[in-house]
Structure 1
Amino acid sequence: MKTLLIFPKQSIQRLAALLLAGLFLSACQHQQLETKAELLVFGTLVQITTYTDSAPPAKHAIQKVEQRFQAFHHEWHAWEKGGIVSKMNQAIADRQPITVADSVKAFIVKSQKLAKQSDYLFDPGIGQLIEMWGFHSEHWQGPPPSEAQIQNWLSQRPSIADLYFEGNTLYSRNDRVRLDFGGNAKGLALDIAMQELRQAGIDNAVVNIGGDMRIIGRKNEQAWSIGIQNPQQPSQALAMLKLSGDESVVTSGTYQRYFEWQGQRFSHILNPNSGRPADHLVSVTVIHQDATSADAAATALLIAGPEHWRETAAKMGIKQALVIDQQGKIEQTKAMAKRSKLLGTSIIAR
């Protein structure tokens, strides 16, 4: 809290100073109205919070975001029948072209660019592998795929790189490509939400999709305080970040969704190069203005592992990242170290 000191001189100067102090404190105490909404979509809890001078416009904007999210979930869910992803996957399997909307093409092209930057560690074309491991179901049934199944998939190595466009018509060179945008769809949803809120004239907001966030502006003139979850104790934060302006913070973790089979734990994040779950890093947090890019990068860095995550981050233009390995060791980039406040843990920054 800032303090205004007034030194006694002549009475008129004292009165002027007191008036200025009153104006200063009144400005400090101005509180915008908080408007909140929660909904279940994308298989997780979504929270939308805005700070505005008037509540009705904020409520209306949040309702529009909710409507976009419900439609988005139907269209982009990898195994939601009737959605655009399902239709594209069926067309690819049938070796047929399919014409898509400009927005769909733009997202695929952007995802292709992100995949290439990551050396295809992030690859939305591996839906068949994800299905093989049983992650196209809300409840995993088991068992894991056999070695022969994995090697058969690797021999074909379907990838989003196999897709190409002629105008707005999508083609695939490989009929085993199955699109699954679980690696960056939440990021796209965050970007869409902020676009809607900005168009409604809202300058201060945070959208939280299962712990992945994009923020704009500030919270009553203060930066947003964001905690990074402790993988060993998920109810606690191991670090705090201050975000303001227009930023996204996204975390990918092997501890968030997994299954166990015969005493072994398998993460839902799969390495396209091995056909198996990523198992070296347990958590990666990335800050980037664009949530779609942050989401893809967090996935790619986690798959890259302790030896290569920095190289992958550089290729993807990521300057702010924090990673945690299986032993609980934390490393982060220098740019991230300037932002994060670690809570009782040692850290390596270089």
Structure 2
Amino acid sequence: MRFDRRDFLRLSLLPLLPSVLASCSETQEPVEATQIVFGTVVNLQIYNTDKQTAENAIARVESYFQQFHHEWHAWEKGGILSKINTAIAEQKPIEVADSVKNFILKSRQLTRESDGLFDPGIGKIIEMWGFHSEHWQGPPPEDSKIHAWLQSHPSLLDVYFKGNRLYSTNSQVQLDFGGNAKGLAIDLALQQLQQAGIHDALVSIGGDMKAIGHPAGRQEWNIGIQDPKNSQKAIAALHLNGGESVVTSGTYQRYFIWKGQRYAHIIDPNTGYPADSFSSVTVIHPDAITADSAATALLVAGPERWQTIAAKMGIQYAFCIGHDGAIQQTKAMEQRVKLL
């Protein structure tokens, strides 16, 4: 699915999508494509490459994204994740490819480093809240059902491997990698672009971005961090270097209101209820999977714990916006961000 430039300008103002700030010094227009995948806007920008090479590479990446969505969406029947969840529920082992195993093991390590605040094993509670679909309307699950889920305490840490056979010690585990699969997709997409001989590009999926090289006329990418209270305004700007990813997780886009109470889509694994600490958290890290996972973990951690969790996850650059607009950030991030 393609959009013209006007559609992208409108769609790029969605709350979780940091916008690339235009530079007057850029003399070459990028070869660009936009589509809807993973229920959000995907944008590719390729610089310093002839148009035909860029368009051929974009076509391959777009096809790859559609296949990736099918395989890794927790609710997509027939995909690898659906097969894994069925096997876990039936308490049967399942053989998986090396790439699947490696991603799950990496995610499990990130779960451990985050003290369980990022945990892809909580798919059942996400389903209970209705955030497995594209329409969120309530009602919230009953307290008794949340309590029963907490008693079973499903976690990605319950999953283990013997060779390439995946097992789980807990049948209530349901894997949902909505918290970091976009990071994996970005890393793999950029690998494909590099294999096609492209050295300067930006891939954006919703609130996740990663760059390689640099745009025409500049040595770095200019990125805007969206104001949670105004979808058409950037609250801050930062420079992104080639080889870095920037991810924003927020509670202000995907939510529903039930009887006057607002429920956001990011669930705290320790309570079974939506996290209600920061409005958004932006993280910079070379690895998009780590950045994606950490942004979720820091948002769940909230004002009291985010610095501790950032240190455990090896995060130098973090920028947190409270519901009241108050900003907390790491010392390193202060050197990268300019408030607008």
Asked if these proteins are the same fold (TM beyond 0.5), I'd say yes
SS of match in other structure, 2:304: coil
Aligned partners of 1:169, 1:233: CA distance in 2, in Å? 47
1:312 to 309, 314, 330: 309
Aligned partners of 2:113, 2:129: CA distance in 1, in Å? 26
Q: Judging changes above 3 Å, is the alpha-carbon distance between structure 1 residues 316 and 30 closer, same or farther for their aligned structure 2 residues?
A: closer
1:133 to 115, 129, 132: 129
Aligned partners of 2:37, 2:114: CA distance in 1, in Å? 28
Aligned twin of 2:116: 120
State whether structure 2 residue 277 is matched by structure 1 residue 259.
no
1:86-97, aligned counterparts within 5 Å? 86-97=82-93
1:212-251, aligned counterparts within 5 Å? 212-222=208-218, 223-251=220-248
Counterpart residue type for residue 255 of structure 1: Y
Cα offset, 1:235, TM superposition: 1.2
Counterpart residue type for residue 203 of structure 2: V
Counterpart residue type for residue 296 of structure 1: S
For the pair shown, the structure with the greater C-alpha radius of gyration is: 1
Aligned partners of 2:78, 2:217: CA distance in 1, in Å? 44
Counterpart residue type for residue 335 of structure 2: K
Aligned partners of 2:321, 2:178: CA distance in 1, in Å? 21
Give CA-to-partner distance per residue, 1:5-58, whole Å, 9 cap, x none. xxxxxxxxxxxxxxxxxxxxxxxx995562111111110111100012411111
Does the 8 Å CA contact 2:48/2:215 hold for their aligned counterparts?
no
Aligned twin of 2:278: 281
SS of match in other structure, 1:125: coil
Structure 2 unaligned spans of 5+: 1-24
List structure 1 runs of 4+ shifted beyond 6 angstroms.
none
State whether structure 2 residue 312 is matched by structure 1 residue 330.
no
Aligned twin of 1:190: 186
Cα offset, 1:66, TM superposition: 0.6
Give CA-to-partner distance per residue, 1:152-201, whole Å, 9 cap, x none. 00111000000000111000000000000000011111111111111111
Count of residue pairs brought into register by the alignment = 315
Does the 8 Å CA contact 1:52/1:58 hold for their aligned counterparts?
no
Cα offset, 1:140, TM superposition: 2.2
Structure 1 unaligned spans of 5+: 1-28, 344-350
1:156 to 147, 152, 158: 152
Aligned twin of 2:143: 147
Does the 8 Å CA contact 2:137/2:257 hold for their aligned counterparts?
no
1:321 to 307, 318, 323: 318
Q: Judging changes above 3 Å, is the alpha-carbon distance between structure 1 residues 325 and 33 closer, same or farther for their aligned structure 2 residues?
A: closer
State whether structure 2 residue 291 is matched by structure 1 residue 294.
yes
Aligned twin of 1:271: 268
Cα offset, 1:234, TM superposition: 1.6
Aligned partners of 1:270, 1:333: CA distance in 2, in Å? 24
Give CA-to-partner distance per residue, 1:268-320, whole Å, 9 cap, x none. 00000011000011100000011010000000000000000000000000000
SS of match in other structure, 1:47: strand
- C-alpha RMSD over aligned residues: 1.2
Does the 8 Å CA contact 2:184/2:289 hold for their aligned counterparts?
yes
SS of match in other structure, 2:282: strand
Does the 8 Å CA contact 1:284/1:301 hold for their aligned counterparts?
yes
Aligned partners of 2:26, 2:235: CA distance in 1, in Å? 32
SS of match in other structure, 1:89: helix
What's the % identity of the aligned pairs? 61
Cα offset, 1:63, TM superposition: 1.0
Aligned partners of 1:228, 1:341: CA distance in 2, in Å? 10
Normalization by structure 2: what TM-score?
Answer: 0.91
